[in-house]
Amino acid sequence: MRLVYSPHAIREATVQLAKQINKDYKGHQIHLIGVLKGAFIFLADLVRQIEVPCSVDFVRLSSYGSSTQSSGRVEEKIPLKDPIGGQHVIVVEEIVDSGTTLAKLLDELEAQGPASLRVCTLVDKTGRREAEIPVHYRGFRLEAGFLIGYGLDLDERYRNLPGIYVMEEGETL
């Protein structure tokens, strides 16, 4: 595996994203929704840079099973508890790939009538996008490659790595 985003680069990107969010939502309160499991580290780092009043919730979605390619089916393993009607909502993802997972979630959230709804992702992986996703805040843009580390897993492993690595073709870890 090869390092693509160092802990330092991730931190810089996170600080920049939070700066933009703080600016855009000045005078407002926001509600962050992290998509588990992958987003738990990014959300934890991002939220500590947020200076506007905010609340946090999580939803657990899964579309992968144990392969490196999306199965196309999205399973809601832990549904949202807090109602979001009238709130300024930002969905926080560590990576958007095909967009299947997020498209379903965004439809559901939109139906609840939030005051606004935006997406913040650390990595926007665009090469396999199938659903049109409005990504308002992105840390990094990448065409292709399977990433691990900083919350990103391969079959539940490697989430603990502080940097983000790309798996090289044919590599077995």
Where does residue 134 rank: exposed (0-12), middle (13-18), buried (19+ CB within 10 A)? exposed
**Euclidean distance between CA atoms 106 and 102, whole angstroms:** 6
Q: How many residues does the chain have?
A: 173
Q: Which residue is nearest to Mg ion (CB)?
A: 38
If one asks whether residue 98 binds ligand IMP (CB under 6 A), the answer comes out as yes
**Euclidean distance between CA atoms 86 and 106, whole angstroms:** 15
If one asks whether residue 95 binds ligand IMP (CB under 6 A), the answer comes out as yes
**Euclidean distance between CA atoms 154 and 87, whole angstroms:** 34
| Part of the chain binding ligand IMP (CB under 6 A), chosen from 10-18, 47-55, 82-90, 93-101 | 93-101
Distances (CA, A) of 107 to 28, 76, 113, 120, 143: 23, 13, 10, 16, 25
**What does the block give as tokens for 15?**
């600080």
User: Minimal distance in Å, beta carbon 89 to Mg ion?
Assistant: 17
User: Minimal distance in Å, beta carbon 151 to ligand IMP?
Assistant: 8
Q: Does 97 participate in catalysis according to the annotation?
A: yes
User: Minimal distance in Å, beta carbon 88 to ligand IMP?
Assistant: 22
User: Minimal distance in Å, beta carbon 39 to Mg ion?
Assistant: 5
Q: Which is nearer to Mg ion, 35 or 50 (CB)?
A: 35
Q: Which is nearer to ligand IMP, 140 or 146 (CB)?
A: 146
Q: Which is nearer to ligand IMP, 25 or 154 (CB)?
A: 154
If one asks whether residue 100 binds ligand IMP (CB under 6 A), the answer comes out as yes
Among residues 45, 97, 124, 153, the one annotated as catalytic is 97
If one asks whether residue 146 binds ligand IMP (CB under 6 A), the answer comes out as yes
Alpha helices in the chain (DSSP H): 7-24, 40-47, 100-110
CB 39, CB 92: distance < 8 Å: yes
Binding site for ligand IMP (CB under 6 A): 35, 38, 63-64, 70, 93, 95-102, 125, 146-147, 152-153
